[in-house]
Amino acid sequence: MKNIEAKNSILCRYLIANEQDTRWGLTITTVGKQSLSINEDYPPKDGHPMRYLFTTEQGRVLDEYQLLYIVKGSGIFTSTSCKLTNINAGNMFMLFPGEWHNYKSNPSTGWEEYWIGFKGENIDNRVKNGFFNKEKPIFNVGVLDEAVQLYEQGISVAIEQKAGFQQMLAGIVNHLLGLAFCLNKYNEFENLEITNLINEAKIRFMEDFRKDIDIEDVAKGLNMSYSTFRKVFKAYTGFAPAQYLQEIRIQHAKELLTNTNLNIKEIAFESGFENPEYFFTAFKNKTGYTPIQYRNFTQGKISI
């Protein structure tokens, strides 16, 4: 490990990982922060190992992911897959392994940045499954104390390097990635009226799931066409409206199967299913268990 506390307001830790750390699925390579004053050259001339250095004339390619967070100032970012984009306080941006990138602070503002570098099959799988991609590497999360504290905690963990520090840092990275994904997704819905309408529909589903709900009527009640409502609802929740309603009904059925002695027919109707046969099919397709198997398992009568 190389420790650096340089004169350019830089605090860095560059870390090693053993074979066991690698099997955890996510290892951390570097964590740190730096502050650039107005008209100060970016990047600083010293403070980083050679493999991390780059010039803003040529850019750089890394063999790891990095998640950077700008908490003060502004600048620009570009990469092979992302056109030149302004970066402001409250933005995170991700660097991808093997992807050329370039970024720098605005001389008229400087900036304060945090970063953490990582690699492993966990993040590879998230990229493969579309949670993060090179075409959209910038996340609008706002300036959050929670995020700053996570980076600061990461720096502290890296400095102390107690037993299991890589796993602790992996947890911090997972938390940061969750914030980046979730808050950026939420902030895409800047129209507060649309957000309120979707939340109104969710409340309607949760309150009336036992009834025969006509989703087109729900859309009309919100003064939206069904196609628009379905598109916006799925973008916001990750579920189509009918799927969301089905999830609520399945979850309620699980509670009744575990905590009551109601028979299957009663549970089906109590959970909003039109008949026991459809309930049986929907429940097994969702959980992999029949309702009776699920009840016996959750009540400790059998092991599956």
Per the structure block, which two tokens stand in for 226? 């069904």
Query: What CATH number belongs to 2-187?
Result: 2.60.120.280
Q: 150 Cβ partners below 8 Å, 6+ apart?
A: 172, 175, 176, 179
Cβ(232)–Cβ(274) under 8 Å? no
Same fold? 2-187, 192-298: no
Give the residue-averaged pLDDT of 226-248.
93
The pLDDT score that the predictor gives to residue 300 is 85
263 burial via Cβ count (<10 Å: 0-12, 13-18, 19+)? exposed
Pairwise CA distance, residues 156 & 32, whole Å? 10
The pLDDT score that the predictor gives to residue 304 is 58
Helix, strand or coil, per DSSP, at residue 31: strand
Pairwise CA distance, residues 206 & 200, whole Å? 10
Pairwise CA distance, residues 194 & 274, whole Å? 31
The length of the chain, given as a count of residues: 304
The pLDDT score that the predictor gives to residue 46 is 60
Q: In the chain, where are the structural domains located?
A: 2-187, 192-298
Q: For residue 2, is pLDDT > 60? A: no
Q: How confident is the model over 113-122, as pLDDT tens digits?
A: 999 999 999 9
With vertex at residue 194, the alpha carbon angle to CA 188 and CA 199, rounded to the nearest 5 degrees, is: 100
| Range 192-298 has CATH code 1.10.3720.10 | no
| 303 confidence band (pLDDT: 50, 70, 90) | low
Give the residue-averaged pLDDT of 106-112.
95
Per the structure block, which two tokens stand in for 132? 């993060």
Cβ(253)–Cβ(267) under 8 Å? yes
Give the residue-averaged pLDDT of 32-43.
86
Give the residue-averaged pLDDT of 139-148.
94
